[in-house]
Amino acid sequence: MVEPGSVMERLLRGVEHFEREVFPREREFFAGLAGGQNPAVLFITCADSRLLPNLFTNTVPGELFISRHVGNLVPAYGGTMGGVTATIEYAVSVLGVAHVIVCGHTGCGAVQAMLDPESVRELPSVREWLRHAEAARRTVVENNPGASTAE
């Protein structure tokens, strides 16, 4: 049972609205999407819930192949063969994307955590993930010795 007024109820109502209002109105568009995807761009960005790549790039479903994860980090090839590497490989080799964009954002908690590792002491998976940016962190600190984490 979904509690009235809860986030889950709102999500379910959103799905119902999509099925009842949006899908019928855009049936032809969605039928085209069902035939397969052919995005020109792999768009790698942060998992931050406030970021909506299709909104701020003025694109529609099918135009961007989107990879979202903490800090929009891309591990060095060969070091960690995980989801990010698999996404890039698939996008380039199978989908044939022409462009790969890595898009960060202001106030990124992951970037702040890289500069203040103590803040993620209790988050071992996050701490390990952020190690992929250690070379970049070191460069920033060495070249900006007096900078605050906000800078």
Q: What does the pLDDT look like over 41-86, one tens digit per residue?
A: 999 999 999 999 999 999 999 999 999 999 999 998 876 678 999 9
Distance between terminal CA atoms of the chain? 47
Active site amino acids: 46, 48, 50, 105, 108
Residues ≥6 apart with Cβ < 8 Å to 40: 63, 97, 98, 99
Contact 139, 133 (CB under 8 A): no
Confidence of residue 23 (pLDDT cuts 50, 70, 90): very high
Q: Which residues pair with 41 in a beta bridge?
A: 64, 99
- 72, burial (CB in 10 Å: exposed 0-12, middle 13-18, buried 19+): buried
Q: For residues 11 and 1, what is the distance between their CA atoms, to the nearest angstrom? A: 14
CATH number corresponding to 37-143 = 3.40.1050.10
| Global pTM exceeds 0.95 | no
Determine which of 48-62, 81-95, 115-129, 132-146 has the lowest per-residue pLDDT on average. Answer: 132-146
Please report, for the chain, the start and end positions of each structural domain, with discontinuous segments joined by +: 1-36, 37-143
Highest average pLDDT, of 11-25, 66-80, 129-143, comes from: 11-25
Rounded to an integer, the average pLDDT of 12-23 is 97
